[in-house]
Chains A and B, each alone.
Chain A
Amino acid sequence: MADKNQRQELKKIKKYNLKKYREYNKQMRKKRVPESEYLTKMKNPDNIIEFDNLQSYFYTDVGTVKSVDGVTFDIPRGKTIGVVGESGCGKSVTSLSVMRLLQGPQGQIAGGEIRFNQQSTGRALNLAKVSMKEMEKIRGNEISMIFQEPMTTLNPVFTIGDQLCECISLHNPEMSKKAVEERALETLKMVGIVRDGILKNYPHELSGGMRQRVVIAMALACDPQLVIADEPTTALDVTIQAQILDLLRDLKDKINASIMLITHDLGVVAEMADYVVVMYAGRIVEQGTADDIFHHPAHPYTIGLMKSRPMLNQKVDRLYSIPGNVPNPVNLPEYCYFKNRCDSCVEACSGPYPSLVSLSDTHKVSCHLHQGEAAHKKQTGGKQNA
C-alpha cells in the first residue's frame, strides 16, 4: 500500500518535472527575447545588482529542491558583500544564478528578479530573463567569476598567455598582438606574478596560489563591474590566502568594482566585507553591515556559528555546538527551518516561517524572537549600532 502511494508520488513528480523542463527548453530556444521582457528599473541607482525574491530550484526525481528560496539583497557599487553559510545553504546556486550557469533544465530560476545596472548602456537588465546570447556578452566581461578551483576557469591545454591574451583582445579588438601581450604581462604584474616565460607556461606548471592569481588577472583584464568570488581561497593555505585576499582588496579599489564574496569562513568575511548576508537552507536568515553581523548578531544561527568557531587567543574549555544537522532541502517545513536545532525557541516558532524584519536601516533578521522589535525601534527612533 505504502509502496503504491510512493510510486504514485514519484510519477507525479516526474510529470511535474517534465512540464518544467518543457517550459524551460521552450524559453531557451527563443533566439530573441523582446526587451520588454527583461528591461527593468533599479530600485537604487547606486546598486550594481539587486536580488529581488530570487528563487532557484532543481527539479529532481525525488522532488523540487528549493536551493534558493526568496533571496533579496543589494550589491552597492564599489562595496564587498560577503555571503556566508554552511555547505548546501545555496551560496553557489545564488552566484550561478547571476551568471545564468545553473544546470538546466533541472536547475532553473523559478522566480524573482536579478536586476543588473549595466554601466555600458545605462540600462537595467533582469538577468533572470535576458537571452543566453546577451548573457554571454555580460559573463566574463562586466561580471567576472573566480571559483574555488582555478582549473574550472583555466583550460589545461592552453598556455597562460593564450588564455589571458584571448581575454584581452576580445575586449580590445583594436589592439595589436604585441600590445595585447604587453597588457597581459602588466595584468600579471598587478597580481604579483613576475616571472620569465610565464605567458608560455601551462596551468599545471604553476602552484595553486599562482593559478588563482592568474584567474584573478583574467577577471581583471576585462575591467568588470562586479567580481563574483565563490570560495576563492578555500583550497589554499593560509599564507597564500592572505596574499590573495590582500590582492582582491587592493584591486577592488583600483578598478572600483563590487565584489560578491562567497565563503563559509567567517574570518574571511570579517576581513573583507562591508555587508554580510547569512544564509540557511536556501534563505537569508540575517543581513547587515559587517558591524551589525559580527558585533550585534541577532539570529540564533548566526550567534551559534560565531560561538562554535574557536578563535585564536581566546580560551574556551568547550566549544558551543549547534546540535543536529541542516534539514533535508526537499521537504522543508512550514515553520522556521532552524527550529529543530535552535536553543532559543519560543511558542511562535511553531507557527509560520518568520518574516524578515528590520532592526535598523541596515540590519535585518528573520526570527520570531525579533518580530516585535522592529515596531518598537520605529517608535523610539533609536538605532542600536549608531
Chain B
Amino acid sequence: MPNEYVVEVNDLKKYFPIKSGILQRTTGHVRAVDGVSFRIQKGHTFGLVGESGCGKTTIGRSILRLTDPTSGEVKISGVDIGKLKKKELRPFRPKMQMIFQDPFSSLDPRMPVGEIIGEAVKEHNLVSRSEYKEYILKVMKDCGLRPYYIDRYPHEFSGGQRQRICIARALALNPDFIVCDEPVSALDVSIQAQIINLMKDLQEQRQLTYLFISHDLSVVEHISDVIGVMYLGSMVETGTKDDIFKEPLHPYTKALFSAVPVADPDIKMKRIILEGDIPSPSNPPKGCKFHTRCSQCMAKCKEEVPVPKDMGNGHIVSCHLYD
C-alpha cells in the first residue's frame, strides 16, 4: 500500500484570543498555527522543527483534538476528526496517543506503574480481564521495563525510565499514530540514545506513525523520514530528510541548521547569525513573516505572503526567492 497517509493536515489554523481589561474583551489573537498543511505516510516519522513558540505543540494538540482548531482540516486514516462529535471521537482516542517532554509531571505520583500503564486499557476494554496482567507485562517488557516495576511508584524511577513508562502507557492502547512532543529533550545524552533506539524499534515492530516534535535538529535528523520547518506559526519548508538537510532552501532553514554546534573543534562552521529576536505571534510581520531577520529580504517580501512551491520530490518551500 504505497502512499497510505495516516495523517493529513490541511490549512490548519489555531488562534488563541488575547483578553485584556476588566471586561476581558478579546483585543487580539495569538496566531499560534497559521495555515499549516502536511501529511504523514503510514510507518513514517514526520519531524517537526522550529524554535520555541513557533506552534509545534499546538499542532500536535490540534491533530489529536486535545484543543479545537480555529479552522482547517485534520484527517486521521481518512476520517475528518474535526467533524466528529465527542462520542464519535471516543473509539479513535486509543489509536492516537501523545508522549510529552516532561516525564515527571505527566505521571500520577500516587499510582503504581502497572496501573498507570493499564488505566486506559481498562477504560477502553482493550483486553479481557484474564489476559490483562500478562498484556501489561508484555508491553512493559517491550519498553525495557522489568516485571517487578509493576508495583513501584514513579518517584522511584530516573528520567529515562519514567519516559519508558510514558511510552508503555501510550503503547498499551495499541495506537497507530503517536505525537511525540520533545520526548527526549529533558533527558541526558546517554539516556536519550536509549529512548530514541526504543522508539525506533517499536516503530518497526508495530508499523507506528510518528509526529516527532523537537527543537533538537540532530535528533530529528536521526529519527525522521520527512521534515517540516516552522517559523512563527507557518511551515516554511517541508521535504524528505535528505533533501532538507543536504539542500535546505529557505533562508530560515539555512540559518537554523548553521546555528547547530558541531561536536568537532576542527569544523568551524560558516555561521549565519540571525539578528534580533523572533517577533510576537500576536503581531507577525506582514508579507513573509521572516523578512525582519532575513538577509536576502527583497521589496516584495515585505508585502506579499510567499505561497508554498513544490521544487520536486515533495520538497516544498515558501519563499519569494523561488518564485
Name which residue of chain A comes closest to B190, CB basis.
A322
A294 to B264, CA, bound (A): 6
Contact between B259 and A319, CB atoms less than 8 A apart: no
Q: Which of B10-18, B121-129, B191-199, B232-240 contacts A (4 or more CB under 8 A)?
A: B191-199
Please indicate the chain B residues that have their CB under 8 angstroms from the CB of A210 in the complex. Answer: 277
Tell whether A238 pairs with B189 under 8 Å between CB atoms, given A207-B277, A294-B265.
no
A residues less than 8 Å from B274 (CB atoms)? 239, 242-243
A198 at the interface (CB under 8 A from B): no
Q: Is the CB of A238 within 8 A of B259?
A: yes
Pick from B51, B194, B263, B264: contact of A238, CB under 8 Å: B51
Complex contacts, B189 vs chain A, CB 8 Å: 86, 264, 266, 305, 308-309
Verify A320–B193 contact, CB threshold 8 A: yes
A42 at the interface (CB under 8 A from B): no
A240 to B273, CA, bound (A): 8
B positions within 8 Å CB-CB of A = 51-52, 158, 160-161, 188-194, 196-197, 200, 215, 217-219, 221-222, 245-246, 255-266, 271, 273-274, 277-278
Contact B273 A242 (CB under 8 A): yes
Of the listed stretches A32-40, A219-227, A310-318, A370-378, name the one at the interface; the rest are far from the partner chain.
A310-318
With A243-B274, A318-B200, A319-B197: A311-B190 Cβ-Cβ less than 8 Å: no
A321 & B197 in contact (Cβ 8 Å cutoff): yes
Contact partners of B160 in chain A: CB under 8 A: 325
9 sample A-B contacts, Cβ–Cβ < 8 Å, listed by A number: A86-B190, A242-B274, A264-B189, A308-B192, A309-B189, A309-B192, A310-B222, A321-B193, A321-B194
Distance (whole angstroms) from the CB of A80 to the closest CB of chain B: 11
A349 at interface (Cβ–Cβ under 8 A)?
A: no
Report how far A238 CA is from B219 CA in the complex, Å. Answer: 14
Taking a contact as CB atoms under 8 Å apart, the answer to whether A325 and B191 are in contact is: yes
- A78 located at the interface, meaning its Cβ lies under 8 Å from any Cβ of chain B in the complex: no
What residues of A have a CB within 8 angstroms of the CB of B191 in the complex?
A: 86, 325
- Against B, the Cβ 8 Å flags (1 = close, 0 = not) of A191-214 are 000000000000000010110000
A323 contacts B by Cβ under 8 Å: yes
**A87-B188, A246-B273, A325-B191 given; A270·B259 CB < 8 A:** no
Q: Among B217, B263, B278, which residue has the most Cβ atoms of chain A within 10 A?
A: B263
Shortest C-beta distance, B97 to chain A (Å), equals 23
A213 CA / B136 CA spacing, docked (Å): 50
**Majority DSSP secondary structure for residues of B touching A:** helix
Shortest C-beta distance, B258 to chain A (Å), equals 8
Q: How many A-B residue pairs have C-beta atoms within 8 angstroms? Tell me.
A: 119
Residues of A within 8 A of B (CB): 86-87, 207, 209-210, 237-243, 245-246, 264-271, 273, 290-291, 294-295, 304-306, 308-313, 316, 318-323, 325-326
Please tell me if the beta carbons of B263 and A245 are within 8 angstroms of each other in the complex.
Answer: no
Query: Chain A contacts of B278 at CB under 8 A?
Result: 207, 237
Contact with B261, one of A207, A209, A240, A265 (Cβ below 8 angstroms): A265
Which residue from chain A places its CB closest to the CB of B186 in the assembled complex? Answer: A87
A321 to B193, CA, bound (A): 5
Which residues on B sit within 8 Å (CB–CB) of A241? 259, 261
Contact check, A86 vs B188: say whether CB atoms are below 8 A apart.
yes
B256: chain A residues at CB < 8 Å are 238-239
Which A residues lie within 8 Å of B219 (CB)? 310
CB distance from A247 to the nearest CB of B (A): 10
Q: In the assembly, what is the distance between CA of A323 and CA of B190, in Å?
A: 8
Q: Which residue of B lies closest to A301 (CB)?
A: B190
Contact B263 A267 (CB under 8 A): yes
Q: Does A238 lie within 8 Å of B217, measured CB to CB? A: yes
A86, A207, A295, A310: residue with the most chain B Cβ atoms closer than 10 Å: A310
A209-B277, A294-B264, A310-B221 as given contacts; A242 in contact with B259, CB under 8 Å: yes
B190 close to A266 (CB less than 8 A): no
Question: Contacts A209-B277, A238-B51, A313-B245; is A306 near B271 (CB within 8 Å)?
Answer: no
Question: Smallest CB–CB gap between B181 and chain A, Å?
Answer: 16
Beta-carbon nearest neighbor of A308 in chain B: B193
CB of B214 to closest CB in A, whole Å = 11
| Cross-chain contact of A325 among B158, B197, B264 (Cβ < 8 A) | B158
Complex CA gap A365/B26 in Å reads: 62
The reply to whether B52 and A270 form a contact with Cβ atoms under 8 Å apart is no
Contact A310 B261 (CB under 8 A): no
- For the complex of A and B, list the 5 residue pairs with the smallest distance between their C-beta atoms, beginning with the closest: A267-B261, A310-B222, A308-B193, A321-B193, A237-B51
A305 touches B52 (CB 8 A): no
Known A-B contacts A209-B277, A239-B274, A304-B190; the reply to A270 vs B264 at CB < 8 A is yes
